[in-house]
Structure 1
């Protein structure tokens, strides 16, 4: 598909999905006069987006901005190994930041696929070879249910020692939900609040996009607004979440960073969702982990998680924010109208469409949504005996209200990637 033309400039976009990982996309604006020489072609703007994750001890956005600038500074003709090497060096220079679910190679392939669509002189791009999807022919991730003895011991020990407050929250509008997530994570990071499990209570339908996703490429915004869905952006990476209040169970876990100390990102996800997996299995619902951050059964995906680390300063403990959305029921027709599901992403799932990926819990239990949530929380003290019910403090409530007004309800925050 040719790029969008504006005079001598063209806007093109390419995507690449890492097998078993995440999707990354590169949108570039190219300046290219008709009949110009290869050396005269320029990339004047770049925007990287996707459902990848970043783990960092400092500003995550700096890495994305530096990758954007690296691409813009490249000169034609472009050779794939040179592009990959330059992007790899940027990743290496950001020693405190880890790109999860994507790589210099998938970034390079996304860029080259974008440039394939542009009207540029012959010889401007020298690729690896045919740019077929990396994910083509991949099998769906294996369902992982049984922990090895070592990790089970670690998980049991950490959950039993966790002084966890459980907050079954009141109904909140979508911007307030994601704002409170940031406020409570920061409070735990600074040691002002203990570890907390917060059950969200949606006041209205919503789409929540990941920190590095492109609003225009992920959501059919006019359709979402017409159907009554608010669109908000959260502080963590990952993919879009489609939520009807009566169809989902959403929770956030906020813990001091030490809770996940020594575990890589894969095992951190499993640690944080261990209580959920154990609770579901106790209720007779088959559940396990699929890939890095999905909760699934043999019937399909049940839910998905996202995380972000908050570094501590000057004696602060730092914090881990982990949130999960489970599908109790789903309106796939509306979801497919509202979300723009990438075919590149679907190719890695070994399924034909997003419809066949989701296996809502309603089809796997006789319990209602509220009964299921009550049963999950009732089992939690078996694993975390220090867990107790609590209410949010006024300081956190106030911080959440302020963040919702100043950032999370603002169009600029929702539309801008960095």
Structure 2
């Protein structure tokens, strides 16, 4: 579940924070087999913009991932309804008997409001992040050379990932716990110069939670502890298997895809969490120099997208994975293999630019991301001339796009003034 488009952010947040209200559709018990989130497109366009078109299904639209996010963040409520029945669930809800944070300022607000806070922490990108390139693409470990403003921002995002993990644990939302661990993996790589081991540990725990087996909740709690963060190093080994020599592993929680959960949890929940976890696991493995294993993780993640609809949201995810595979080949000095996967990534963008139903702006961003990787590859190979040529082309293309956008804004403002003058 790559976070890309900011245009539908407000709609996503509103949907997530209002879900589960008494009397709403979300309060009904949906059969497990029908609880599939954003898997299928709709013939009704709920959000404006070409980025919600489905390339291979004219007249159908993506919901921007809102259904998937709701599926994950409302998981505990859905399971409780299925196990206890709707009347018993509503009694628990009305009596404040559902899991939530109960201490401090957060304890003063309802579970629904706390889930709204969690949605903000987990699913919202910063304004302007998209201009920096795909946030899920791994370009290398933290350099330690960031300016103070950039470093503070990255540390803040790391702290947000830990906060979302703590809140997910208190709300007992296992899907959000898994996604929070994947986010923690990502943020550790961005902040910590040698953060690969801690990042990999978080990604592996995320996979255990969404897997077929079971997981140890105390290991997860430890990852949410500030004292076990980055500055003094981890208190568990790099495989995340023990807190101390004498500790007995306590795998008391079944994974989301565990056989015992299939009656209550649709397999899509596990699939969505696996997509994030395998992606971040690949990035952590790259940070550790384990490039073949990283490519295997990315390829596994790509396989999980085989049955997903063709829209800019899912194609952005496919594109990012191909860039990562290419970058892993480049790290081993194999420029030809790297170019093969960067070309695949660029092809997604080209298709969106050229397709009648394509998301043109997103397509151009995909092409630019792939071309930047190619320029970086040439630079690492010592072919600075080719690298500079690509960068110059990208800057010129961006300048043209900015001029077009400025002209469109000017026409829009003139149109508004004309309408106002007519009314007057």
| TM-score with structure 2 setting the length | 0.25
Q: Which has the higher helix share?
A: 2
Q: Which has the higher strand share?
A: 1
| TM-score with structure 1 setting the length | 0.25
